[in-house]
Structure 1
Amino acid sequence: MTESVWAPDGGNLVVHADNAEFLPTLPDGAFTLIYVDPPFNTGRVQRRQETRMVRNADGDGDRVGFKGRSYDTIKGALHSYDDAFSDYWSFLEPKLVEAWRLLADDGTLYLHLDYREVHYAKVMLDSIFGRECFLNEIIWAYDYGARAKNRWPTKHDNILVYVKNPTKYHFDNAEVDREPYMAPGLVTPAKRELGKLPTDVWWHTIVSPTGREKTGYPTQKPEGLVRRIVSASSREGDWCLDFFAGSGTLGAVAAKLGRNFVCVDQNEQAIEVMRKRLGTKADFRRSGSLPDASLDQAAPFTKA
Structure 2
Amino acid sequence: MRDIDWTEDGDDLVVHGDNLEALAHLPDGAFRLIYLDPPFNTGRSQTRQSITTARVAAGAAGDRVGFKGQNYETTKGLLYSYSDSFADYWSFLEPRLVEAWRLLDETGTLYLHLDYREVHYAKVVLDALFGRDCFLNEIVWAYDYGARTKRKWPAKHDNILVYVKDPSRYFFDSAGVDREPYMAPGLVTPEKAALGKLPTDVWWHTIVSPTGREKTGYATQKPEGILRRIVQASSEPGDWVLDAFAGSGTTGAVAHALGRRFVLVDENPQAIEVMRSRLGDAARYV
Superposed pair shares fold, TM > 0.5:
yes
Q: Deviations over 1:139-174 (max 9, x none)?
A: 000011341111100000000000000000000000
Partners of 1:9 and 1:229 lie apart in 2 by: 27
Moved more, 94-103 or 7-16: 7-16
The correspondence of residues 258-269 of structure 1 with structure 2, limited to 5 A, is 258-269=259-270
Partners of 1:5 and 1:274 lie apart in 2 by: 20
Q: Is the 8 A contact 1:50 1:216 kept in 2?
A: yes
Q: Is the 8 A contact 2:31 2:242 kept in 1?
A: yes
Q: Deviations over 1:174-220 (max 9, x none)?
A: 00011111111111111011001100000000000011100000000
Q: Deviations over 1:47-99 (max 9, x none)?
A: 11111001133353222222222211100111111110000000000000000
Q: Is the 8 A contact 1:59 1:69 kept in 2?
A: no
| Residues 1:148 and 2:169 are matched in the alignment | no
Q: Deviations over 1:271-291 (max 9, x none)?
A: 000000000110011xxxxxx
Q: Deviations over 1:109-141 (max 9, x none)?
A: 000000010000000000100000000000000
The correspondence of residues 232-243 of structure 1 with structure 2, limited to 5 A, is 232-243=233-244
Q: Once the two structures are aligned, what percentage of the paired residues are identical? A: 73
| Residues 1:55 and 2:55 are matched in the alignment | yes
TM-score, with normalisation over the residues of structure 1?
A: 0.92
The structural deviation recorded for 1:8 is 7.4
- For 1:31, the aligned partner's letter is F
Size of the aligned set, in residue pairs, is 285
Partners of 1:263 and 1:71 lie apart in 2 by: 37
Question: What is residue 247 of structure 1 aligned with on the other side?
Answer: 248
The structural deviation recorded for 1:240 is 0.2
TM-score, with normalisation over the residues of structure 2?
A: 0.97
**Secondary structure of the equivalent of 2:86?**
coil
Partners of 2:14 and 2:148 lie apart in 1 by: 37
Moved more, 51-60 or 240-249: 51-60
Question: What is residue 30 of structure 1 aligned with on the other side?
Answer: 30
- For 1:118, the aligned partner's letter is V
Partners of 2:267 and 2:71 lie apart in 1 by: 40
Q: Is the 8 A contact 2:147 2:156 kept in 1?
A: no
**Secondary structure of the equivalent of 2:256?**
helix
Partners of 2:219 and 2:84 lie apart in 1 by: 11
**Secondary structure of the equivalent of 1:25?**
coil
Question: What is residue 21 of structure 1 aligned with on the other side?
Answer: 21
Question: What is residue 75 of structure 1 aligned with on the other side?
Answer: 76
The structural deviation recorded for 1:5 is 3.2
Partners of 1:5 and 1:220 lie apart in 2 by: 28
Question: What is residue 197 of structure 2 aligned with on the other side?
Answer: 196
Question: What is residue 166 of structure 1 aligned with on the other side?
Answer: 167
Question: What is residue 11 of structure 2 aligned with on the other side?
Answer: 11
User: Alpha carbons of 1:44 and 1:62: their partners in 2 closer, same or farther (altered >3 Å)?
Assistant: same
Question: What is residue 273 of structure 2 aligned with on the other side?
Answer: 272
Q: Is the 8 A contact 2:140 2:158 kept in 1?
A: yes
**Secondary structure of the equivalent of 1:71?**
strand
The structural deviation recorded for 1:9 is 6.5
Question: What is residue 298 of structure 1 aligned with on the other side?
Answer: none
- For 1:89, the aligned partner's letter is W
What RMSD, in angstroms, separates the aligned Cα atoms of the two structures? 1.2
| Residues 1:39 and 2:42 are matched in the alignment | no
**Secondary structure of the equivalent of 2:259?**
coil
Partners of 1:124 and 1:67 lie apart in 2 by: 57
Partners of 1:215 and 1:169 lie apart in 2 by: 33
The correspondence of residues 102-141 of structure 1 with structure 2, limited to 5 A, is 102-141=103-142
**Secondary structure of the equivalent of 2:10?**
coil
User: Alpha carbons of 1:9 and 1:33: their partners in 2 closer, same or farther (altered >3 Å)?
Assistant: farther
Partners of 2:23 and 2:147 lie apart in 1 by: 37
Q: Is the 8 A contact 1:246 1:270 kept in 2?
A: yes
Partners of 2:114 and 2:64 lie apart in 1 by: 35
Partners of 1:32 and 1:147 lie apart in 2 by: 39
Partners of 1:8 and 1:250 lie apart in 2 by: 20
